[in-house]
């Protein structure tokens, strides 16, 4: 009987040493932090998808011009890294000021907005145009701007005050309209100058 029974006299595993406890604790912390990072990574919107969502929720241009509120026009593109970088801040600013200011987004890749692109001379994005309650352009800002600058401009816009950071330029993504105002007028058959040589 003794041949088949386990030897109970062998010592158990020794107690864990402080070094092995520390190692196990560090491994557990790393595993937890990686899990949280992966979870948050899957649950946050990328800049491009946030821009798409914001554009879908934006006030249509026709409505903004007619409703008697001041307006922030943003010319953007989903591929624009500066637009993507500003999207979270602009989304928060929309939540804060959306009841007093229209937020309109015009995608420069949509030829529907070509007249507006030419009218406001958009040559870099993001390109912001601040319109008063009557729909008149009162200021422009081009490129990536800090949230505090945009916030100060929106507060002034809503209060019908001069914008503190009018005509500012930050980092932009290059953009050129498929036509220019000069070439459009020369080839337009309705233009009187096109018929006289």
- Tokens coding 171: 């980092």
Is 55 within 8 Å of 108 (Cβ atoms)?
A: no
Buried-state track 67-106, b at ≥16 Cβ within 10 A, e below 16: eebbbbbbbbbbebebbbebbebbbebbeebbeebbbbbb
Nearest to 68 by CA among 159, 134, 154: 134
- On the 0-12 / 13-18 / 19+ scale of CB atoms within 10 A, 165 is middle
The residue from 64, 72, 77, 83 that is catalytic is 83
83 is catalytic: yes
Give the dihedral sign, CA 50/90/54/144: negative
Catalytic residues: 80, 83
């Amino acid at each position: 009987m003794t041949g088949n029974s386990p030897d109970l006299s062998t010592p158990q595993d020794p107690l864990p040493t402080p070094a092995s406890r520390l190692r196990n604790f560090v491994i557990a912390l790393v595993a937890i932090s990686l899990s949280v990072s992966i979870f948050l990574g899957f649950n946050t919107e990328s800049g491009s998808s946030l821009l798409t969502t914001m554009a879908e929720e934006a006030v249509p241009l026709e409505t903004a011009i007619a409703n008697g509120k001041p307006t922030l026009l943003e010319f953007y593109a989903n591929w624009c890294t500066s637009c993507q970088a500003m999207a979270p801040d602009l989304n928060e600013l929309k939540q804060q000021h959306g009841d007093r200011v229209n937020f309109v987004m015009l995608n420069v890749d949509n030829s529907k907005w070509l007249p507006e692109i030419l009218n406001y001379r958009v040559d870099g994005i993001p390109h912001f145009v601040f319109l008063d309650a009557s729909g008149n352009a009162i200021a422009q800002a081009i490129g990536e701007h800090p949230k505090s600058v945009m916030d100060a401009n929106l507060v002034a816009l809503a209060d019908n005050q001069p914008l503190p950071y009018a005509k500012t330029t930050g980092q932009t993504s290059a953009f050129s309209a498929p036509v220019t105002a000069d070439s459009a007028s020369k080839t337009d058959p309705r233009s009187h100058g096109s018929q006289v040589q």
